[in-house]
Amino acid sequence: MNWLFHLGRYWMFIKEMLSRPEKLSIYWKQLLRELDNFGYGSLGIVALTSVFMGAVITIQTVYNLVNPLVPMSAVGIVARDSIILEFSPTMMSLVLAGKIGSSIASEIGTMRVTEQIDAIEIMGINSASYLSLPKVVAAILIFPFVVIISMFLGIFGGWIAGTLAGVISSADYINGIQDSFVPFNIVFALIKTVTFAFLITSVAAYHGYHTEGGALEVGQSSTNAVVYSSILILVFDYILTQLILT
């Protein structure tokens, strides 16, 4: 029944986090800082992961395409749809859960064990909202842009790898990525991204906020934040796919 306790406490935390901020100008500054941190700060890892992910998808698709009746442009279609529908929103969110989720949990957890959160509370400030809301809003606003960049770089990585390895011609690949394109897939990917952004940041903030003890427990909170947000990303990936695409 431990999960029920956490579920209840998580909802209480979300309710507190979403209560009216004390002073919007302070939250605005925090929001800008987090946008820079989550967006610009994540570009390196996102770019690297996306290019290699696109490259591997393309080469593996070519390797598995043994039927001579299937045109080579199908490789572009498969790479594009895999990247847009699944790899960019879900895999990037898992990567960001590791990078941003652990950072949020350890930052807030350290503030808890060093009494910085108590100091905020003493001043009459809603600490849950002050510490978490700018992070959650920043992630919801910036993650879609990060994922769109990831989609572009993934498809680009596939083209580079495919043509450099000589397994597909540039024309076939470009024809493939333009063929039977469904714009709603982008909307679906962004719906998933926004959901994952909320889960990553709120779950990490929750674990950090409820840290008790010292340095060891801060590490445990950080690990728990990554583990639980990753599990929730996979569960919600399935739920959203089932709800929206079928």
Does the protein bind other proteins through residue 115 (CB under 8 A)? yes
Q: Spell out, one character per residue from 95 to 114, where the chain touches other proteins: x when CB under 8 A holds, - when not.
A: ---------------xx--x
Query: What's the min distance (Å) between Cβ of 43 and other proteins?
Result: 22
Residue 6 identity (one-letter amino acid): H
Query: What's the min distance (Å) between Cβ of 18 and other proteins?
Result: 15
> Closer CB to other proteins, residue 48 or residue 119?
119
Query: What's the min distance (Å) between Cβ of 116 and other proteins?
Result: 5
Does the protein bind other proteins through residue 68 (CB under 8 A)? no
Does the protein bind other proteins through residue 2 (CB under 8 A)? no
Q: Is 40 exposed, middle or buried (0-12, 13-18, 19+ CB in 10 A)?
A: exposed
Residue 71 CB coordination number (10 Å): 14
Helix and strand element counts for the chain (H, E):
11, 0
Residue 45 CB coordination number (10 Å): 14
Does the protein bind other proteins through residue 118 (CB under 8 A)? yes
Give the range of 5-13, 81-89, 124-132, 141-149 binding other proteins by CB under 8 A: 124-132
Whole-number Å distance between alpha carbons of 22 and 173: 53
Which helix (H) or strand (E) is 136 found in, with range? helix 127-165
**By the 8 A CB rule, do 200 and 100 touch?**
yes
> Closer CB to other proteins, residue 209 or residue 228?
209
Q: By C-alpha distance, which of 104, 94, 172 is closest to 134?
A: 104
Query: What's the min distance (Å) between Cβ of 12 and other proteins?
Result: 13
Give the range of 53-61, 66-74, 75-83, 115-123 binding other proteins by CB under 8 A: 115-123
Does the protein bind other proteins through residue 22 (CB under 8 A)? yes
Q: Is 13 exposed, middle or buried (0-12, 13-18, 19+ CB in 10 A)?
A: buried
Tokens standing for residue 117: 């959160």
Does the protein bind other proteins through residue 36 (CB under 8 A)? no
Tokens standing for residue 229: 């947000």
Query: What's the min distance (Å) between Cβ of 110 and other proteins?
Result: 8
- Binding-site ranges for other proteins (CB under 8 A): 22-23, 26, 110-111, 114-116, 118-119, 121-126
